[in-house]
Amino acid sequence: MDSPAWVIIDIAMTLAVAIAMFVFFARRNSYRMALLTAAYSVVYLALLILNQKFRNIAYIALDVLRFFNIFWIVTTVEVYRSDLKIFMSKIARRQKVKYGYNTTDEQLLISATEIVKACQNMAKNDVGALIIIAPTEVPAHILDTGTALDATISCGLLESIFNTKAPLHDGAVVVLGDRIISAGCFLPLSQEVTLAKDLGTRHRAAIGITEESDVFAIVVSEESGIISVVQGGTIKRYMTPEKLLEEIKVIYRISSPSVMSKNNHKKAHKKHN
């Protein structure tokens, strides 16, 4: 029979792990897993108490459950590996990376146009893509999973990154201002059970990261060529180039009329005179 001190330690550890796992599953909308964790913990704690009070009446059952504890934890770590990696990274480094570029509306509009062109081309050629645009900052744990670039946005560069033969094509590209900050980033997948069945991993990653961060995601479907945008966990599909450009302009907070339009108008006016 376990000593009273060991039973108290076992109960405390079980409660701590159960609460942590319950919160983890609940935040990812995995409510069935959260309830299963709670139910399992109640049964385990009840057997601990019974075993102590009635002298080994539940000893065999406890041994089985202790073995199952290891299986449960290892399985959770494997299934939610990317989520746990990001969660631990958040604990270790909670800061966000900000960009300090003096970016004008004209530069941002050029970048937005390049993104739209790249998405158009990739959609036509059945190339999948996931682009994350952060208005002013991006959580550091997202960047930690990818490869730092810090390059000017261009249609050609985006298409090169998402080329199926490129090493970084499976991950997401992170954009800040008119720069590509990182590529090949891996994002947490949304656990929302009501999502459409035809939404793949890229869509779930886009929804997942926008559920937890104030970022904007663009997804190009490899299977259908459909361009979608995601913000705040809400997805909008069937984006035309015009709609996509408007969505990006809103995220970039490009003033309307844009600086580029004003400059072009002045040039045309001077030429006419």
Residue limits of CATH 3.40.1700.10 in the chain? 96-256
pLDDT band at 101 (very low <50, low <70, confident <90, very high): low
Q: How far apart are CA 223 and CA 189, in angstroms?
A: 19
d(CA 269, CA 161): 40
Asked whether the beta carbons of 132 and 217 are under 8 A apart, the reply is yes
Query: Is 3 a residue whose pLDDT tops 80?
Result: no
Mean pLDDT (whole number) for 17-40: 80
Q: Is the peptide bond before 4 cis (omega within 30 degrees of 0)?
A: no
Predicted pLDDT of residue 259: 41
Average pLDDT over residues 246-255: 90
* pLDDT at position 59: 66
Write down the CATH superfamily of domain 96-256.
DNA integrity scanning protein, DisA, N-terminal domain (3.40.1700.10)
The SS3 assignment for 221 reads: coil
What local confidence, expressed as pLDDT, does residue 18 receive? Answer: 83
Lookup: tokens for 177: 């201002």
Residue 166, pLDDT above cutoff 80: yes
What mean pLDDT is predicted for residues 169-181?
92
**Is 13's pLDDT higher than 90?**
no
pLDDT tops 80 at residue 22: yes
pLDDT at 265 over 50: no
Cα torsion angle, 209, 210, 212, 213, sign: positive
Please state the pTM of the whole predicted model. 0.65
Sort strands 179-185 and 147-152 into parallel, antiparallel or unpaired: antiparallel
Q: Residue 164, Cβ neighbours under 10 Å: how many?
A: 11
Average pLDDT estimate for 95-124: 84
